[in-house]
Every structure is written in C-alpha cells, then in structure tokens.
C-alpha cells in the first residue's frame, strides 16, 4: 500500500487528523462506506494503518483564527459520532474513543468548559478539545453520550497481602491490617464491582454503558496470601491473575513465595471470584519470539480452562509489559481483554488489550486510596514524594 500523508491543525497538540493526501486509489478504497464529514480523514487514516499502510505527518492545515479552529473541531466531533455509528470497531483508534485517556484534571476542565459553553481566552489546544466534545454531545444521543463520556471504570490491584516486610518487596506487599482498612474505605465509596461479562460487553457492545463508580479489584501472581485475603471479600468479585505453571508451587520471580493451589483458586471462584491468566511462566512477553509468545498465551489458557472451566478469558501482562505484537497475539489466542500497568480510567474507547489500572500500596492512606479509586491515577508525585519521605523517617533505621 502506498504511503499516505496526514495533516493536522496548526497550533493544536497533540495533533489530530484534519486531512489526508497521497495515493488516490488507496484513499478511495479506505473511505468506502464511511459517512462524509470533518472526521472522515481520521477514519481513513485509521483504516489505512490497520491494513498495514504507512502514514507520515505532513504540513499542518492553517484554519485561520481560533474561532475557525473551534468550528472545525465541533464539526469533527459531530462527524465522529456518525462514523462510529457506521463502523463501531473504529472507536478505539479515533479521538472519539479517547475521553478517558485524558487525566482527571483535564477531564474536569473539559466538563467545566462544556457546561459553561466557554469560548474565552484558553490555550488553543484546550479550546479545540472542548469544541470537539461539544460537537460530540450535540450529535450523540443521551445513551451514546453516556457511553462515550460518562461510563468508565477503575482497575485496582495488589500483589502480596502478607505484611512480611521483606527487603525488596516493599512495593509489592501490603499488610493484612492495611488491606482491611483499604477494603472498608472502598466499600464506603460504594464502588460497584464489574463482572467479567459486563467488562467485556462494555468494550465490544456499541450500546453498553456502565453504572457510576464501576471498579475491578484484582491481584496479580496468585500469591496464596492474596487469594486468602481476597477470599474474605469475594462479594467484591476480585480478579486473580495467575501464571499457571506456578500454581501450587512457588514464585521464582519473587523470592520463592507460595502461590495458591488449584483447589484454593477454585474455592475463590465458587464464591464469586474471577480467575484469569498471567501467562504460563511470568516471563516478559515482548522479549519472546512469536512461537514462544503463542505458547505462553495459549498453554496458559488451556491449563486454566482445564482446571477451572468457567475461567474468564482475561489476561494481565506479567510486569505490565506489552506492545502491538503482544496485544495482537493475545487477541489471536482467544483472550477478550488484557490489563497493562498503565494508570488511568478505562472508557468505552480504551483499547481492550491495553486496559489501565493502578496498584494500591502499603503506605496509601485514606486520601490516596480515594484518589486512586476515583481517578485510576497515581497520587501526584510531589505529594507521593513527601509521603515516602515521612514513611522512611518512621521506619527502623530511617
């Protein structure tokens, strides 16, 4: 396929596709069946990239003053809705699917600007963003707007829940006392745990929405201490992601710590827990060749289903490591979604093989737990740094 040039809007960052140029036959083929509109070039570029074509950024389009840019962005927003109605699978790669890719502070500003219909003196990229979503809201039905801009969920996860205080495990281990405090706080927030079927439907059904404050509570590695602790909160539908070759044995990647047995995992599943895959051997997937990667994914799922027939077709990447090749392999192996270690909320347009989540830590007090549970983001670094310094001063030898 010929190389296609995409053109953004002058002064707007990150760049959005305003026009495409290049091989006419390729562009005509990529536009087949798409509604014509201001977002058509972006959809064409997505189709070309998915088909293996090469895209390169060219000179940006000069649209005139800020009012002209806002007018064009509103038209792009309205056009995007029409395009996704025609081809829902494009959502994850369009700006329309990116509402929850923005941090909480940016989303709050966006909502304020939309509510006020503001056109005042704000930076051009912020005005362009608000104009785009204004166009979306104008075109979308109430249900579409609810799905695109109001439905989302946070992933929270642990590793160990032992409180052993072992050197090198400070960032992986939460004491049972702290864990129970965090669980009480999460319950007071009235979070709504997602079933795996609802999670998958949200990312695949163009009509699916989610209740307010939806959450996935999880633990990676299947450590026995975490499985026992989460078993006391099975009504929260905890997800446990396990490297299947280590079940009933020890974790070679973390000081030989004990991993739950199949009977312990089945017990959790029988009480409402969700068991998913963490690969076969807890190796970093991007380091594997295609054959080894396929084996890690398919063999893990095969063993998981043999032991727990109703195990969820969900994956958490070991160490959170993934790339385009790994995500495609997970899809090919039959998984429906996969979690990374990238932080943030998950919306309908989040890549279902690059789902976001944030880890809860031993030193997370009430404010930090609330922040993570409601935003899916890490505590801002200046605050986190002060908390870690205070913790170091209180620790023995600190």
- Higher-pLDDT residue of 329, 398: 329
Single pTM value for the model: 0.93
In the chain, where does the domain assigned CATH 3.20.20.370 lie? 152-394
- Higher-pLDDT residue of 397, 112: 112
Q: What is the pLDDT at residue 397? A: 47
Check pLDDT > 50 for residue 296.
Answer: yes
Those residues with Cβ within 8 angstroms of residue 200's Cβ, 6 or more apart along the chain or in another chain: 313, 314, 336, 337, 352
Check pLDDT > 60 for residue 225.
Answer: yes
- Going from the C-alpha of 24 to that of each of 2, 51, 163, 220, 280, the distances in angstroms are 10, 16, 63, 49, 47
pLDDT digits (tens, 9 = 90+) for 303-334: 999 999 999 999 999 999 999 999 999 999 99
Write the burial class of residue 302 (CB in 10 Å: 0-12 exposed, 13-18 middle, 19+ buried).
middle
Q: What is the pLDDT at residue 11? A: 86
152-394 is classed in which CATH architecture?
Alpha-Beta Barrel (3.20)
pLDDT digits (tens, 9 = 90+) for 51-85: 988 899 999 988 888 899 999 999 999 999 999 99
Check pLDDT > 60 for residue 109.
Answer: yes
Check pLDDT > 60 for residue 1.
Answer: no
Q: What is the pLDDT at residue 398? A: 44
What average pLDDT does this structure show over 213-238?
98
Check pLDDT > 70 for residue 207.
Answer: yes
What average pLDDT does this structure show over 272-280?
97
* pLDDT above 70: percentage of residues in the chain: 96
pLDDT digits (tens, 9 = 90+) for 135-184: 999 999 999 999 999 999 999 999 999 999 999 999 999 999 999 999 99
Q: What is the pLDDT at residue 90? A: 97
Helix, coil or strand: residue 9:
strand
Q: What is the pLDDT at residue 392? A: 66
């Amino acid at each position: 396929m010929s190389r296609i040039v995409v053109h953004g809007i002058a002064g707007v960052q990150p760049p959005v596709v305003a026009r495409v140029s290049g091989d006419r036959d390729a562009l005509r083929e990529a536009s087949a069946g798409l509604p014509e509109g201001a977002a058509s070039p972006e959809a064409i570029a997505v189709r070309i990239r998915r088909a293996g074509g090469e895209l390169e950024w060219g000179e940006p389009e000069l649209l005139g003053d800020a009012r002209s840019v806002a007018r064009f962005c509103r038209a792009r927003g309205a056009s995007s809705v029409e395009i996704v109605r025609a081809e829902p699978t494009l959502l994850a790669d369009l700006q329309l699917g990116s509402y929850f890719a923005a941090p909480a502070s940016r989303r709050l500003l966006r909502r304020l600007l939309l509510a006020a219909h503001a056109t005042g003196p704000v930076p051009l990229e912020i005005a362009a963003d608000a104009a785009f979503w204004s166009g979306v809201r104008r075109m979308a039905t109430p249900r579409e707007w609810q799905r695109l801009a109001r439905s989302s969920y946070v992933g929270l996860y642990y590793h160990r829940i032992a409180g052993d205080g072992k050197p090198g495990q400070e960032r992986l281990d939460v004491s049972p006392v702290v864990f129970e405090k965090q669980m009480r706080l999460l319950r007071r927030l009235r979070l709504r745990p997602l079933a795996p079927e609802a999670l998958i439907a949200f990312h695949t059904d163009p009509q699916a929405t989610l209740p307010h404050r939806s959450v996935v509570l999880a633990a990676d590695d299947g450590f026995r201490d975490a499985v026992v602790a989460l078993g006391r909160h099975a009504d929260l539908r905890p997800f446990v992601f396990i490297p299947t070759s280590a079940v009933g044995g020890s974790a070679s990647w973390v000081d030989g710590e004990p991993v739950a047995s199949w009977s312990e995992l089945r017990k959790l599943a029988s009480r409402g827990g969700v068991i998913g895959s963490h690969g076969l051997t807890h190796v970093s997937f991007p380091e594997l060749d295609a054959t080894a990667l396929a084996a890690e994914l398919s063999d893990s799922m095969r063993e998981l289903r043999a032991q727990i027939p109703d195990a969820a077709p969900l994956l958490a990447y070991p160490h959170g490591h993934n790339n385009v090749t790994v995500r495609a392999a997970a899809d090919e192996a039959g998984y429906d979604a996969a979690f990374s270690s990238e932080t943030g909320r998950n919306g309908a347009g989040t890549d279902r093989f690059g789902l976001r989540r944030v880890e809860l830590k031993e030193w997370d007090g009430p404010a930090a737990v609330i922040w993570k549970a409601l935003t899916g983001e890490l505590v801002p670094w200046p605050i986190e740094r002060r908390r870690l310094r205070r913790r170091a001063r209180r620790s023995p030898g600190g």
